[in-house]
Every structure is written in C-alpha cells, then in structure tokens.
Structure 1
Amino acid sequence: MNPFFERDLRISRRQLFGTGAKGIGVAALAGLLTQDGFASLLQGHAQHHGSGPLPGLPHFPPKAKRVIVLWQGGAPSQVDLFDYKPELLKHRLEELPASLREGTRLSTMTSGQNKFPILPAIKPFRQYGQSGMWLSEMIPHTGSIADDICLVKSMHTDAVNHAPGVTFFLTGSQIPGRPSMGAWATYGLGSMTDELPAFVVMTSSDEKKTCGQLFYDYYWGSGFIPSKYQGVRFRSEGEPVLYLNDPPGMSPQLRRGVLDDIAALDKRRLADYGDPEIETRITQYELAFKMQTSVPELTDISKEPKSVLDMYGPDVEKHGSYAHNCLLARRLVERGVRFVQLMHSGWDQHTNLDTQLALQCRDTDQPSAALVKDLKQRGLLDDTIVLWCGEFGRTVFVQGDINRENGHGRDHFGACYSLWAAGGGFKGGAVHGETDDFCYKVVKDPVSVHDMQATILRQLGIDHERLTYEYQGRNFRLTDVSGQVVPELVKP
C-alpha cells in the first residue's frame, strides 16, 4: 500500500473534517459552519490567540495584577495556629458534645470513634501588631506581618480528604479535569512577560519529618482549555526546567534555525486545522528558547543582598526548599509572571502533633512572612495577592491515644478552617468570621471555597460569572454554579 494513503487512514475526527473541507465535502461542511451554535463555538475558541487578555477583560479596574499561592498541603490546624479559643482550656479532654457533632462530615479515620476528647491549642496564643491579632506563638514571623494580612477564620469546604480538597480549592471541583485557578487567570488576562511562563509552579516537602502529600499535575493543569495555560513546574532538583541547555554539537544559531523551521510547519498545520494545541506547541517552543537565558538568571540568587537572604531564613540557599521557593516567587513576579503556585506538604499531623507541628511552623513561618515583607519593601505587595492556605482544617478533638507519647494528632476537618491573604487590595490587620466556642462550626460570616475564588478573581478585575469556557455543550467557570465576592475582605 502507498505509505501516504496508509498514513491518512489513521486520522482524528478533527483531521477528517479538516481534510474533508478541501475535497468533495466542502459544500456540506460550509453549511454546517454557518449554523449559529457551531460557528459561535469556533469563533469563541479562535478569538484568543497570543499572550494578551481576552476581549473585554479585565471586566473592571483590577486591584491586583499577580497572585502567589502558598499552598500548605495536608491541612494546617486552625485550632493550634489561628482560631484563638482560650475557654477550651477548661474543657481539656472532656467529651465534645454529641449534639454539636450531628450533621458534620468526618473522615473515615475518626467517624467511627467512640470518644471525642477535646484538645485545646498545644501552645499559647498572643496578640500581634497594632491590630492585636491573636496568633499562636509557633508562628511569630506571621505575627510580625499581622497588620498586613487578612485572616479568614470562617472558611468551610465539602471535602474531607486531601486530593479532593486540594482539587476543589484549586480548580473549583473535587473531581479532576477542570482548569486550575492559575490557568483561568492566565487564560483571561494573558501574560505580562515573553521571557517566562505566565503560570509557574514549585513544590517542596520534607517527608522525613511528617506525612507528605502527593502533588498531582491537575492541581495546576489547564483541564479542557488550551494547554498553554497550564502551570509550568520548576523542578526541585537539578535544572529547574529540562533541556534548557543546547545538546552537544548544536549551536544557539542552529537551534534557532531549527525552531524557526518547525514553527513554519506548525503554522501551516494551524491554518489547515485551527487546533489550539498546535498554537500551544508554537508558543511553547518559542518560550522554551527564551527561557534558556531567562531561567538561569532567575534562579541565580547569588546577587541577592545578605539582608534579604537572612530574612527568608537558614534554608533559603537550599535548592528546592520552601524558603528557596518563596524567594524565587518574589523574583518571578518581579519579572512579570502572572501566577505563582508554591505547593508545600507536611501538615497532615494525625500523630506526633506536639513535635511535628512545631517543626512544620519552623520551616514555613519565616519564609512566608519574609515574602510579604520583601514584596512590600519593593512596592509589589499593593498589586500582588499572597494567599496562604490549605485544603481544610483539623478537628478540635483528639485522634489517637492522648496518653501515648507522640501517639495522637488531629483528623481532617472541613466544617471550619482558617487562611490568610495579604496584598492585592485585601485588608491588612483584619479578622473575618467566627466559629463557635469549640472551634467546630462557623457561626458568623461564612466563606466558602467558591466565595474565596470569586473574591480573588474580583481583585484581578474578573467577574467570576463572566469568565467562562464552553466545553461539551456547557459554559464552565472556576466557581462552577455558586460563589459570591466577599467585600468585607478587601478595601473599597
């Protein structure tokens, strides 16, 4: 068989329509394309080429241009760090009232427990800043930026297991496959630099200290929107991005020529089929070439002043550490990156709570606060959102045996938890929401995951109900079918 025809027998549906348009079926296909539904679909997907914003965006003047997500995987304990409940000391190891537990979803690890002894915060709280914000003594550096952060104590989520919880917060659905928050932001607003990706992800963990969580690609994926909007992960070991260096025997000039020839072929293919993934390939090849120069400069922190390095703590020069990634996050947004997502694990203290929680705070408290201070002193905090959060909180009752050394901890808990945001128009020194006396249910100003997503998009100048993408006959958005902006969290 002629190899040309043999190759053409293996074609996709997209290729079939593309090839058919050149032959006998052109008239029938042209008729289909004039139908409102299909034509509007093609027009909607074809209108966003290049690195600029979608037509009509931003919807209103933005308060923020960039976002840095400091993801604390495993779920930090709001009981021990943020939600001050001094009266709990009187109820230490008393049974949590059954009436309070009714209707609250627990994980399978504790839903079958016979006893639910109350465990107050393991370390004292104190007031910080002019705002007098109550925070644990385990996070004194966060206390030093109390007047810059907006502490939300009334978060709640439907998820009680890690992967669904992370997926829900970062993509708007507990089921994988939706575009991530960073992908939505860069899809809507475009890129602010041609030298680096618009959306960068870095990961860190120390599994020797405590239970670590897996990092799945769909936490920063683009789902069903073009893949050029997915996050680019910088590796924690070796070169941040693979194949930054030219292969042996290939000069930069030769590589440039090869890329130009590939781009010319891809553009011909794009003209034939209109496949957005071909456009992605073109832009990513070009970006990869530019990153050969921009990434090594970005990751070289040797010229940072000693005062800055000291501010981030002793691990800042350890490649792949949380502190190192926090410094790189500042350098990324400084160079025009739109969305930075740091994924750090280790907060899943089902056991060893007394020792492991303190170690986790030691590793993350100083770098998190340093990032806020660093952005502020450079004039970048005003239009950069820094979001410190996890997938849910921890139970106020004990998991495990309280009488056995390092044999107890706290289980997952979604009915209430805490997070904080700084910069980008969020109110500094503010505390929003309240939980009951047992830190078990939200009793004032609840904030859902979709509410927080809507508020972040609002600060970026995006109406969360209007940033949509049509897929399988439905318009999807980050906030799915709910979510409201919370005006109390932000400045007028």
Structure 2
Amino acid sequence: MEENKDASENPLKSNRRHFFSQLSVGIGSLALGSLLIPDLFKGSGPSLASKGDLGVAHFAPKAKRIIYLFQAGAPSQLETFDYKPILRKRMGEDLPESIRNGQRLTGMTANQDKFPLMPPKIGFKKHGESQTWISDFFPHIAKIADDITVVRSMHTEAINHDPAITFFQTGSQIAGRPSMGSWLSYGLGSENKNLPSFVVLTSRGKGNSQGLYSKLWSSGFLDSKHQGVLLRSGKDPVLYLNDPDGISRSDKRHLLDHVASLNKMHHVETGDDEIESRIAQYEMAYRMQMSVPDVMDISKEPQSIIDLYGEDCQVPGTYAANALQARRLAENGVRFIQLYHQGWDQHGNLHNEMAGQAKDVDQASAALVLDLKQRGMLEDTLVVWGGEFGRGNYAQGKFDPENYGRDHHPKAFSIWMAGGGIKPGLNYGQTDEFGYNVVENPVHINDFHATLMHQMGLDHEKLTYKYQGRRFRLTDVAGNVINDLLA
C-alpha cells in the first residue's frame, strides 16, 4: 500500500495544466518550468495531487480502534509497575558504575558526584492470577491486572521531554512527521462520516506539567484532513464550529454548496489537492455541528457508569471525563482517540506529587477497560497507558528519602496495554535488579508502533508515503512486531 505521488514536488501548488495555462510556452518558459518543477516534462503518470486516504487494511485486523492514555511527563516505572526490592536494601549506596556504564544524563544530574540509590516510598503487591507487581498508588488498575499486559522493557533514545513525546507520537524526535493517529487515518479512513477519525483530548494534573503542542497530533506531510481534532472541555468542544446568530441550518448548507462549487473550479485550474481536503473539512465541520454535541453529552449515562469512572467524570476537562468521552467516541466509530494527561514530571517531591497524579487517573483508567469489556468492545479496542520515558533509580540532587525526585531515564521504563488482540495478564520484559537496564525482551518505540499497526491490520513496512524523494513510514527504517504480545 503506497501513496502514488510526491507532495513535496508540488512547491507552487501547480501541475502541467496549470503551468501551461498561466505561462506562454516559449523556450524561456519551458526552461523556467523545468527548474521550478523538475518532473514537469516526465512521461504521463499519476497526478501530483494527493489521492487522500487509502481506506484498506493489509490483512484482517484484531483491533478496530486505539485509545491511547498518554501520561505526559513520564511516570516513574519504579513507583508504578517495576518493583525492585534491592533499592530498599541498598538505599543511599552509590549506583554501581558497571550498571550506569557512562550513560548520557541530563543537565540536571550530569554534575552529580554521587548517584545514591533511592527506593520508592510506596508499597508494591502482586495482583491477579498473573501475579503482576503493581504499586499501591493504583488500587483500581490492580483489580484489572489479569486484563492488562505490562511491558517493563520499553526503551528510547530521547532523553528530554519534547523530543521524547514527539518520538512516541510521530516516530521521529524531530517535529514535522505525521502522528500515529494521522497514519492510521490515512491508511484506514474513517468509520463514521460525521466524526473525525482522529480525536485528541487533554487534561492536566496538579504536578509539574510539560507543554503539549499541536505538532503532536499534526498530519505532517499527509493531507490536512488526517490531522487530529482537539476537543476542548466546556460549552464549545471545537472552536468556531457553531454558526453565528441569525444563520440557519439551511443557510449554512446553501453557503457551503456555493463555496464548494468555487473550490472545485479552483481545483480544476490548479490541481491543488489541499482544495479537495478543504472541501472535505467544511463538510465534516457541518456534520460535526450535530454529531459532536451529542457524543459529548454524558447526561444520559446511567449512574452505574458515573460510579464506575468516579464523580470527576462529570467535571469537563478532567481525566475521568475524557476517559468516559473516549469510550463514547470509540462507540461512535472514531478510530484513534488520544488522551494526554499532564503533570508527571516529578524531579522533586515525587511521592506526594505521584500520589495526586495516580489518584487522577487510576480509577478512570481501570473503568475504561472494564466499561469496554462489559460492552463487548475490549476485544477490538486496543488501550495503551504510559509516558515518554522512565525515571532514574537514584536521587536527583541531594539524598533525602522524605523528599526526593528522579531524573529522566530513557533506557528502561514500563507501559501497559489491554484488549485489541493483546495477550491479557502478561508480564513482558525484564530490567536488571536495579531497574536501570533492559535485560530481557527489549521493546523499542519502533517495535511498539509496528505492533500497534499490526493489530489494526496494517503492515508498517508497506504503509508509506512518498515525500521529498523518499518513502516515509511511521517506523522509519526500523521496527519489528512483538509477536509474543499477541493473543
């Protein structure tokens, strides 16, 4: 499955027909045209204009949709799912150099003379038949231990937040690539013509928050109709979606029809595919005027669902409210639902801040899995929970067991997944006894992306898009499906 044109070789939003209609075809014009548009005089072939989404899976998918619960700021694996009792036994001792092995550090700890081992203050217990270690910060997630798979062997190259989050969302540390949701929209299309195929919801905890930017849900070099649509909390989930006073529904329809006819004329003249995308986006906005308010209205949810997610689900903009909205969007055919919850960047006061962050997300995260399961949707909905990297096993700054923080740690961290054809109740991968290095079944971000795409019926090596003379894909030039994770 490949895109058959190169959007980058359309720098003037022009094609042969447009070029010759605007310029006299003299030798000078031909020479100029060959410089401006190198492929102008090649043989007949596919138009330079985009063909939009492909809309066909490579093979039968296990999952129809993904709900990604992204914990922005990087929750510590040592306070969540990677229990390391040796840290308590050797608390305060310097991390052995043989373990650290000269690993790159951030500017916040690179000048430390000592790296005193710091255990978590929170306790851990084994849960479920899977005997999954889960910290006491997450009593609700502990109850679904047999429904989730914990991957403790994630690793990345990125050591700072912005490139690390960008890497997880787009497959590259450098901004400008399409996000994962955009790739899925491009490859599979939409299941509901009245809603976007890719929706973004954000919430913020009380902890230290890293910024979130629209580049994380950008369509990059793909058609703009594949970018994520940010739904805001409050009265107007999408800015400028509603009509001004005095404009009726029929007036709006009449206006759009006339605008579409003008845009189509312009498209015939220029061959600019973004015009077709603009027409499609106007039509989507028109349909969303009716569909978005309905899907965002939780007033008809029974009290049992409110109790499941917690009272916060009735407060717009909270993580719990967004988790419930994610289920409603999934029910209505949205293919990729991205939640971001900020506040996990704990360089100090980690224990107290993580307690608040965990309280924000624990009940609603577990509720989402249980809710999908009771509706028969978990088997074809892939839920992912995790951040952009992990945290070091030593104290940042001075050694203070009562008020400690942890610096960034890209070499080993944990996430969990549920549903969508992923084996339930699995503990995958291992770190060393210090929780510092992956020693068994490493999973790189490229492998993670390849596996998620596989569950959606896409071969990550075949879903490509030609841009600036090369074929790009979400996993770039790497990545393997982790078959051990698949049911």
For the aligned pair, the TM-score class normalised by the smaller chain equals over 0.9
The aligned residue for residue 153 of structure 1 is 152
Alpha-carbon distance between aligned partners in 1 of 2:417 and 2:13, rounded to the nearest angstrom: 44
User: Of the candidates 344, 354, 360, which is equivalent to residue 347 of structure 1?
Assistant: 344
Alpha-carbon distance between aligned partners in 2 of 1:258 and 1:26, rounded to the nearest angstrom: 41
User: Of the candidates 211, 236, 239, which is equivalent to residue 239 of structure 1?
Assistant: 236
Q: Does 2:37 match 1:48?
A: no
Q: Does 2:25 match 1:19?
A: no
Q: Does 2:445 match 1:460?
A: no
The aligned residue for residue 468 of structure 2 is 472
The aligned residue for residue 75 of structure 1 is 74
1:265 and 1:431, CA in 2 relative to 1: closer, same or farther beyond 3 A? same
Structure 1-normalised TM-score?
0.92
Q: Does 2:109 match 1:110?
A: yes
1:459 and 1:73, CA in 2 relative to 1: closer, same or farther beyond 3 A? same
234-243 vs 363-372, which moves further: 234-243
1:18 and 1:122, CA in 2 relative to 1: closer, same or farther beyond 3 A? farther
The aligned residue for residue 410 of structure 1 is 406
Report the Cα offset of residue 405 of structure 1.
Answer: 5.1
- Contact kept? 1:186, 1:338, Cα under 8 Å: yes
1:32 and 1:472, CA in 2 relative to 1: closer, same or farther beyond 3 A? closer
The aligned residue for residue 382 of structure 1 is 379
Q: After superposition, what is the alpha-carbon deviation per residue over 1:174-229, rounded to whole angstroms, capped at 9, x for unaligned?
A: 000000000000000000001111100011103xx210111111111011111110
Report the Cα offset of residue 404 of structure 1.
Answer: 7.9
The aligned residue for residue 303 of structure 1 is 300
**Percent same amino acid at aligned positions?**
51
User: Of the candidates 273, 276, 279, which is equivalent to residue 276 of structure 1?
Assistant: 273
User: Of the candidates 338, 346, 353, which is equivalent to residue 335 of structure 2?
Assistant: 338
- Contact kept? 2:13, 2:271, Cα under 8 Å: no
User: Of the candidates 370, 373, 381, which is equivalent to residue 373 of structure 1?
Assistant: 370
- Contact kept? 1:118, 1:396, Cα under 8 Å: yes
The aligned residue for residue 445 of structure 1 is 441
Alpha-carbon distance between aligned partners in 2 of 1:237 and 1:105, rounded to the nearest angstrom: 43
Alpha-carbon distance between aligned partners in 2 of 1:105 and 1:59, rounded to the nearest angstrom: 40
Alpha-carbon distance between aligned partners in 1 of 2:374 and 2:252, rounded to the nearest angstrom: 41
The aligned residue for residue 98 of structure 2 is 99
Alignment of 1:169-208 (within 5 A): 169-206=168-205
- Contact kept? 1:351, 1:400, Cα under 8 Å: no
1:16 and 1:385, CA in 2 relative to 1: closer, same or farther beyond 3 A? closer
140-149 vs 447-456, which moves further: 140-149
1:26 and 1:257, CA in 2 relative to 1: closer, same or farther beyond 3 A? farther
The RMSD of aligned alpha carbons is 2.1
Q: Does 2:136 match 1:137?
A: yes
Report the Cα offset of residue 18 of structure 1.
Answer: 4.8
Alpha-carbon distance between aligned partners in 2 of 1:78 and 1:405, rounded to the nearest angstrom: 19
Report the Cα offset of residue 47 of structure 1.
Answer: 3.5
2:417 aligned counterpart, secondary structure: strand
1:304 aligned counterpart, secondary structure: coil
Structure 1: gaps of 5 or more residues: 1-10
Alpha-carbon distance between aligned partners in 1 of 2:110 and 2:310, rounded to the nearest angstrom: 40
Report the Cα offset of residue 230 of structure 1.
Answer: 0.4
Alpha-carbon distance between aligned partners in 2 of 1:325 and 1:476, rounded to the nearest angstrom: 32
Report the Cα offset of residue 277 of structure 1.
Answer: 1.2
Q: How many residues are paired up?
A: 470
The aligned residue for residue 45 of structure 2 is 39
Report the Cα offset of residue 13 of structure 1.
Answer: 2.0
- Contact kept? 1:33, 1:39, Cα under 8 Å: no
- Contact kept? 1:154, 1:432, Cα under 8 Å: yes
Report the Cα offset of residue 19 of structure 1.
Answer: 3.1
The aligned residue for residue 7 of structure 1 is none
The aligned residue for residue 5 of structure 1 is none
2:208 aligned counterpart, secondary structure: coil
Q: After superposition, what is the alpha-carbon deviation per residue over 1:60-82, rounded to whole angstroms, capped at 9, x for unaligned?
A: 11111101110000001001110
- Contact kept? 2:225, 2:277, Cα under 8 Å: yes
Report the Cα offset of residue 128 of structure 1.
Answer: 1.1
User: Of the candidates 197, 209, 223, which is equivalent to residue 212 of structure 1?
Assistant: 209
Alignment of 1:51-62 (within 5 A): 53=55, 57-62=56-61
1:315 aligned counterpart, secondary structure: helix
Report the Cα offset of residue 127 of structure 1.
Answer: 1.2
1:200 aligned counterpart, secondary structure: strand
Alpha-carbon distance between aligned partners in 2 of 1:311 and 1:25, rounded to the nearest angstrom: 70
Report the Cα offset of residue 313 of structure 1.
Answer: 1.3
- Contact kept? 2:118, 2:401, Cα under 8 Å: no
Report the Cα offset of residue 400 of structure 1.
Answer: 2.6
The aligned residue for residue 8 of structure 1 is none
1:412 and 1:186, CA in 2 relative to 1: closer, same or farther beyond 3 A? same
Alpha-carbon distance between aligned partners in 1 of 2:408 and 2:39, rounded to the nearest angstrom: 52
Alpha-carbon distance between aligned partners in 1 of 2:123 and 2:144, rounded to the nearest angstrom: 19
2:311 aligned counterpart, secondary structure: coil
User: Of the candidates 417, 420, 441, which is equivalent to residue 416 of structure 2?
Assistant: 420
2:314 aligned counterpart, secondary structure: coil
Report the Cα offset of residue 242 of structure 1.
Answer: 1.5
1:14 aligned counterpart, secondary structure: coil
Structure 2-normalised TM-score?
0.93
Q: After superposition, what is the alpha-carbon deviation per residue over 1:155-179, rounded to whole angstroms, capped at 9, x for unaligned?
A: 0000110000000011011000000
Letter in 2 for 1:204: S
1:26 and 1:188, CA in 2 relative to 1: closer, same or farther beyond 3 A? farther
- Contact kept? 1:83, 1:153, Cα under 8 Å: yes
- Contact kept? 2:112, 2:397, Cα under 8 Å: no
